Amino acid sequence: MKRKLVLGVLLAVSVFVLGSVAFAHTPLCYCYLNGDGTITCEGGFSDGSSASGVEMAVKDTNDKVLVEGKMDELSEFTFEKPEVPFIVIFNAGPGHVVEIKGEDIKE
């Protein structure tokens, strides 16, 4: 019984520690117009680590997914600019989500 408790605590601590090692930094995402009807978003973390593989989604104002994908090996994600109002979601896990409104994406 006591052993189980200790194991449980250890497990919880290790999950916490490992979890915070992976994301002990701020997620960052920045999008810009390419001038050819497409948008490129770049992502990363404040410690300089790559965002490669992070889930990306483009949704309309009714939460409908318009485009889905992942950050490529250069931590970039390019998509065609939707014709309706939209939001870009950089999803690196709970507490590490960045949302960018389509209207804020310029140049």
Partner 1 sequence: MGGGRAINSKERNGMILKRATKVLLTSLMVCLFALPASAHFQMLYTPESALNKGGNLDFKLVFTHPFEAGHTMTMGQPESLYVVHKGNKTDLIKEINPIIWTSLTNSGKAYNLKYRLKGMGDYVFCFVPSPYFEAQEDAYIQQMTKVIVNVAGIPTDWDSEMGLPAEIVPLDKPYALWTGNVFRGIVKSEGKSVPYAEIEVEYLNHEPIMNENKFAKEAHVEAPQDAFVTMTIKADEKGCFTFGIPRSGWWGFAALGVGPKTTYQDKELSQDAIIWVQARDMK
In sequence order, what E strands does 1-107 have? 27-33, 38-45, 55-60, 65-70, 76-80, 86-91, 97-101
Report the number of secondary-structure helices (H) and strands (E) in the chain: 1, 7
Tell how strand 38-45 and strand 27-33 pair up: antiparallel
CA 72 to chain centre: 12
45 makes contact with partner 1 (CB under 8 A):
yes
16 makes contact with partner 1 (CB under 8 A):
no
Nearer to partner 1, 28 or 66 (CB): 28
Tell which one of 7, 16, 30, 65 touches partner 1 (CB under 8 A). Answer: 30
- Beta-bridged to residue 100, according to DSSP, are 88
Nearer to partner 1, 47 or 63 (CB): 47
Tell which one of 63, 73, 83, 107 touches partner 1 (CB under 8 A). Answer: 107
Binding mask 48-67 for partner 1 (x = CB under 8 A): x-------------------
CB 56 within 8 A of CB 50: no
- Count of residues in contact with partner 1, rule CB under 8 A: 13
Return residues touching partner 1 (CB under 8 A).
Answer: 26, 28, 30, 32, 40, 42, 44-48, 106-107
